[in-house]
């Protein structure tokens, strides 16, 4: 059976790769720099051969490359990478709920409404990958959190600042639940675009209060000084139930009240193993 390629084996992609390896699958992981992955850098054409050489005919690809921020501005990756994927049978693209712009209620029927350059480029990447000869499923995850990443981690480090008065609603998805969506999506034949989120969107202030109590730290300061495309400015309830039904997903963490304590426990375990 053709293997799997993780194009951008970062926070989410590396988890998908490990899960596939545990299943006994042939997996090739590519990222810009990592000791355990082949090197592929969109900005370095000399590394493009690692993509074409790793793709077997009929391969299934998780495309987890972000829109790049360069000194010259944002830069899309799909127009450069799509021609390298000609042997692929399946591409699952990890996009973002940021493409919905200022839309406050989002489900599988909600059209994109991008506001900023980065969001516009994401929508264009979805289009480019959707026009390939392979079957394409676009997953648009809400804010991804988990061990070492998220509000709890930023607050633990004293870096988090609440946007506005903290009343803006943010949807989230635990990285392990997102990885489960990716695994199921790679093996499915489903096409289209779907938002991915857990069942517990909440105001930013509510999340911060929960983390503050859990960590025993003060509430973070408020700030109005955020860039226009900063994800903390989101005010969006995302319904991800449709893709869960389609892929047969049962969430490990229905919401932050379960996911954040589990993330902190996993983070502590990682720290202790390194001592």
Decide if pLDDT at 229 tops 80.
no
Other CB atoms within a 10 A radius of the CB of residue 232 amount to 18
Q: pLDDT at position 23, please?
A: 94
6, β-bridge pairs: 29, 62
Q: pLDDT at position 83, please?
A: 94
C-alpha span between 201 and 256 (Å, rounded) = 9
Decide if pLDDT at 269 tops 60.
no
Report residue 150 as tokens.
């998220």
Report residue 236 as tokens.
């969006």
Q: pLDDT at position 86, please?
A: 94
Decide if pLDDT at 16 tops 60.
yes
Residue pair 185/137 in contact (Cβ under 8 Å)? The answer is yes
| pTM attached to this predicted model | 0.93
* Average pLDDT of the segment spanning 70-91: 93
Instruction: For residue 31, give every residue at least 6 positions away whose Cβ sits within 8 Å of its Cβ, in sequence order, or none.
Output: 8, 9, 10, 13, 37, 39, 40
Residue 76 phi, psi (nearest 5): -75, 150
C-alpha span between 244 and 240 (Å, rounded) = 7
Chain mean pLDDT for the chain: 91
For the chain, the distance separating the N- and C-terminal CA atoms, rounded to the nearest angstrom, is: 41
Q: pLDDT at position 117, please?
A: 92
Q: pLDDT at position 70, please?
A: 86
* Average pLDDT of the segment spanning 6-28: 95
Decide if pLDDT at 270 tops 70.
no
Q: pLDDT for 81-104, tens place per residue?
A: 999 999 999 999 999 999 999 999
């Amino acid at each position: 059976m053709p293997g799997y390629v993780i194009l951008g084996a970062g926070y989410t992609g590396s988890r998908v790769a490990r899960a596939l390896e545990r299943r006994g699958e042939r997996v090739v992981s590519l990222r810009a720099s990592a000791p355990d992955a082949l090197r592929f850098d969109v900005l370095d054409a000399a590394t493009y051969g690692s993509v074409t050489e790793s793709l077997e005919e009929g391969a299934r690809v998780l495309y987890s490359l972000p829109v790049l921020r360069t000194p010259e501005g944002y830069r899309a990756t799909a127009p450069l990478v799509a021609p390298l994927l000609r042997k692929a049978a399946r591409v699952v693209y990890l996009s973002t709920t940021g493409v919905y712009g200022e839309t406050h209620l989002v489900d599988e029927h909600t059209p994109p409404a991008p506001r900023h350059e980065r969001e516009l480029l994401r929508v264009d990447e979805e289009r480019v990958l959707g026009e390939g000869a392979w079957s394409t499923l676009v997953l648009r995850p809400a804010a991804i959190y988990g061990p070492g990443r998220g509000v709890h981690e930023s607050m633990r480090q004293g870096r988090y600042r609440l946007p506005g008065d903290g009343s803006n609603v943010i949807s989230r998805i635990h990285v392990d639940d997102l990885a489960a969506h990716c695994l199921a999506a790679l093996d499915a034949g489903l096409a289209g675009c779907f938002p991915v989120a857990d069942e517990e969107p909440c105001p930013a202030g509510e999340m911060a209060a929960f983390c503050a109590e859990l960590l025993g730290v003060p509430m973070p300061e408020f700030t109005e000084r955020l860039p226009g495309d900063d994800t903390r400015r989101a005010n969006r309830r995302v319904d991800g139930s449709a893709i869960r039904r389609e892929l047969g997903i049962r969430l490990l963490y229905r919401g932050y009240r379960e996911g954040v304590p589990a993330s902190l426990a996993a983070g502590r375990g990682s720290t202790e193993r390194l001592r």
